[in-house]
Amino acid sequence: MSEAGDAALLLVRLTLGVVMAMHGWNHWRGGGGIEGTARWFAGLGLRRPRLQAWLSVLTEIGAGMLLAAGLFTSLAGAAVISVMLVAGLLAHRRNGFFVFKDGYEYVLVLAVFSLALAACGPGKYAVDTAADIDLTGWPGAGVALGAAVLGTGALLALFWRPRASSGT
């Protein structure tokens, strides 16, 4: 890969990593904090909402830090994809595509960028590269997407109990 390509991957990793870490930080320390995040999750139909809030915080901050460092890039990407799948399915899908209408546009971009990073790899300026961890290409993308879908499916199967609609 060219020097510019490696620099571009670093920029994408750092941006995505910081965005995810800050998103997790906001769920923890911003606005309503953990209690507000838990209330929001409960409103989405997730049971054990306080646990879900903490899992979300830890996943978002952890995955963000791993992506920024370029460490376990495919697994960090899987975590981001899974969080975005849950958010997209439960909070944004019904609102349509556009983010200004609280749609799924933004979560789709974060998930796809994470999958692309898993496929491309973290680039030259990454802990994975220094440690000779090479899970890229189709295997890297497969691990990221497979782990994300399995994790999302497990979370929804165990904790999502949507309310029955009141309409007939």
Using one digit for the tens of pLDDT, what is the confidence trace for 136-149? 999 999 999 999 99
Alpha-carbon distances of 15 from 12, 18, 47, 113, 153, rounded to whole Å: 5, 5, 32, 11, 27
For residue 165, pLDDT beyond 80: no
Cα–Cα distances in angstroms (integers) from residue 133 to residues 93, 111, 118, in the given order: 36, 22, 12
pLDDT, residue 45, reads 96
Task: Tell me the backbone φ, ψ of residue 122, rounded to 5 degrees.
Answer: -80, -10
Each residue's pLDDT tens digit, 54-106: 999 999 999 999 999 999 999 999 999 999 999 999 999 999 999 999 999 99
Classify residue 123 as left (phi > 0), alpha (psi -120 to 50) or beta: left
The mean pLDDT of 129-133, rounded to a whole number, is 96
pLDDT at 163: 76
Q: What is the pLDDT of residues 147-161, one digit of tens each?
A: 999 999 999 999 999
Percent pLDDT > 90 in the chain is: 95
Under a CB-based contact definition with an 8 Å cutoff, are residues 37 and 27 in contact?
yes
Q: Residues 80, 63: contact at Cβ < 8 Å? A: yes
d(CA 81, CA 46): 18
Average pLDDT for 35-64 = 96
Which CA distances in Å does 21 have to 40, 56, 120?
19, 11, 21
CA–CA separation, 99 vs 107, rounded Å? Answer: 9
pLDDT band (50, 70, 90) for residue 162: confident
- Whole-angstrom distance, CA of residue 43 vs CA of residue 160: 11
**Which among 45, 124, 57, 27 has a CA at the least distance from the CA of 89?**
45
Location of structure tokens 């990221």:
144
* Residue 166 clears pLDDT 60, i.e. is over it: no
Round to whole Å and give the CA distance between 145 and 77: 8
Q: How far is CA 30 from CA 15, 51, 112, 120, in A?
A: 20, 17, 26, 33
